[in-house]
Amino acid sequence: MGRFAPSTTGEAHPGTLLAALLAWLDARAAGGRIVLRLENLDHTRCRPAWAPQMIADLAWLGLDWDGVVEQSARRRDHEDALDRLAAAGRLYPCTCSRRDRTGGRRAPDGGWAYPNTCRARPLPAAGWRASTDALRVRLDDGPIALVDEGGLDLTQDPAAEMGDPIVVRRDGVLAYQLVVVVDDAASGVTRVVRGKDIAPSTATQVALQRLLGLPTPAYRHHLLLVEAHGDKLAKLHGSAPATALRARYTGDELCGLLAHAIGLTPAAVPIRPAVLVPHFDWSRVRRDDLVTRWDGSLSYSA
Ligand code: GLU
Ligand code: ZN
């Protein structure tokens, strides 16, 4: 079982569509199933209207799903996982501010590692739900050996290199690292195909799976579409929203552009995703990030 798990924090962009296409092809080429999970827990960034629009944009591209899960409907399961972590003595409140971390150790994701300062703090007597501070999970110390299917070495000592993850934010929002693990297991996900930007979090997620007694899926982290920002490259984001793409291209045209850009087809001709299935093979998919430009049309430099 595969999954595609976009956050509904805005319109789909070419990077979203490419990630969806790759997760979908990975599943379909193996004759497998795939669910779409709309990650909509962060009410400060997600708008309800983005969820149906995401579904529509993916359908426009030609992708179908064996189920759609709205993460916000899964609260019971999320709380159950937190109850179990609390009962195991793994949850603790963190009173640190972002400023406390700045200038410390650099984490593999480019941010600041959390030095596990508050590990000894007890939960409120009334339980984790009564906390007005963020909650973290005390991970086991020590390395997690992990190489993904593409050969990317993700071995890490997540407790030391990233620091114990936040699982409940100070504003009460349940955080990504925990819910992703709980939801993948609940959907029976055995294959996680996603962008390289998430790769530094994978060891943390495996550590959480082990604490919760959940199976670890196979992982594969694929190339990103990036764009030039001054002299730096950053993940392509708001610049080519689905509304603009759909005004410019048919779904087949955009699918053909993406498939060609990543090396799957010899020419950028319109194509249905389903037509790519029989010949899909990861060895043909480009590995390096791809510099992409949007100026009313989508272009990329090989
Ligand atoms: N919602 C996350 C994102 O869009 C999902 C990451 C994942 O696939 O685990 O970045
Ligand atoms: Zn702290």
Question: With a 6 A CB cut-off, is 194 part of the ligand 1 pocket?
Answer: yes
- pLDDT score, position 219: 98
Per-residue pLDDT of the chain (302 residues; tens, 9 = 90+): 999 999 999 999 999 999 999 999 999 999 999 999 999 999 999 999 999 999 999 999 999 999 999 999 999 999 999 999 999 999 999 999 878 777 889 999 999 999 999 999 999 999 999 999 999 999 999 999 999 999 999 999 999 999 999 999 999 999 999 999 999 999 999 999 999 999 999 999 999 999 999 999 999 999 999 988 777 777 776 679 999 999 999 999 999 999 999 999 999 999 999 999 999 999 999 999 999 999 999 999 86
CA 238 to chain centre: 17
Same fold, 2-66+223-301 and 75-183: yes
Which ligand 1 atom lies nearest to the CA of residue 195?
A: 8
Task: Specify the CATH architecture of the domain 2-66+223-301.
Answer: 3-Layer(aba) Sandwich (3.40)
- pLDDT score, position 229: 78
Cα separation, 39 vs 9, whole angstroms: 9
Closest CA to 128 of 77, 75, 187, 169: 169
Closest CA to 246 of 9, 62, 19: 62
Pocket mutation for ligand 1, best pick of 7, 22, 34, 197 (most atoms within 8 Å of C-beta): 7
Query: 183 alpha carbon to ligand 2 midpoint, in Å?
Result: 26
Q: Whole-model pTM? A: 0.96
Any idea which fold 75-183 has? Rossmann fold (3.40.50)
Which pair of structure tokens corresponds to residue 66? Answer: 């064996």
Alpha-helix residue ranges (DSSP H) falling in 63-175: 75-87, 98-101, 158-161
- pLDDT score, position 97: 87
- pLDDT score, position 104: 86
**At 63, phi and psi to the nearest 5?**
-100, 140
Strand 232-235, strand 290-294: pairing: unpaired
- pLDDT score, position 114: 95
Decide if 223 contacts 192 (C-beta within 8 A).
no
What CA–CA distances, in Å, run from 165 to 27, 93, 204?
A: 30, 11, 8
Domain map of the chain by residue range? 2-66+223-301, 75-183
Q: Is the dihedral angle over the CA atoms 106, 234, 172, 88 positive or is it negative?
A: negative
Question: Which ligand sits nearest to residue 46's alpha carbon?
Answer: 1
- pLDDT score, position 237: 66
Question: With a 6 A CB cut-off, is 180 part of the ligand 1 pocket?
Answer: yes
Cα separation, 152 vs 288, whole angstroms: 12
